[in-house]
Amino acid sequence: MLADFESQFEKMRTEVQNLRNELQAALDFQQKRQADFESERKEMLAEREFLKSKILGLEEARAVEVTKVKNAHAKEITELKNAHSSEVTELKEAHAGEVTELNKKIEALEKQVQQLQLGKQ
């Protein structure tokens, strides 16, 4: 009976040891999964930060390009306005002489009309 008890005790002891081993294997597996998860999480956070900085860089580059285009267009508009203003000034000056000549001719014609009217009377 003592031998039977010792045999059962040994079986139970072996079963407990096997259960401890299984439990330890499960804990080791869980710790490995947790470590893998944390590692993957850190990689994803690093990639997220990288993408955020890349997006920020692209937004800054876009803003610089937009500013360059706006400045170029503003400069072009200013140049066109100046050119137009110069052309208008040149045309005014050119036509001013013509207008003066035409005014003189009109005055001369008006004088002739007055003289003709005086002559008829």
| Model confidence at 38: pLDDT above 70 | yes
Residue 85: predicted pLDDT: 87
Residue 98: predicted pLDDT: 86
What single string gives the DSSP state of each residue in the chain? -HHHHHHHHHHHHHHHHHHHHHHHHHHHHHHHHHHHHHHHHHHHHHHHHHHHHHHHHHHHHHHHHHHHHHHHHHHHHHHHHHHHHHHHHHHHHHHHHHHHHHHHHHHHHHHHHHHHHHHH-
Whole-structure pTM value: 0.48
Grade residue 43 by pLDDT with cuts at 50, 70 and 90.
Answer: very high
Grade residue 119 by pLDDT with cuts at 50, 70 and 90.
Answer: confident
Grade residue 70 by pLDDT with cuts at 50, 70 and 90.
Answer: very high
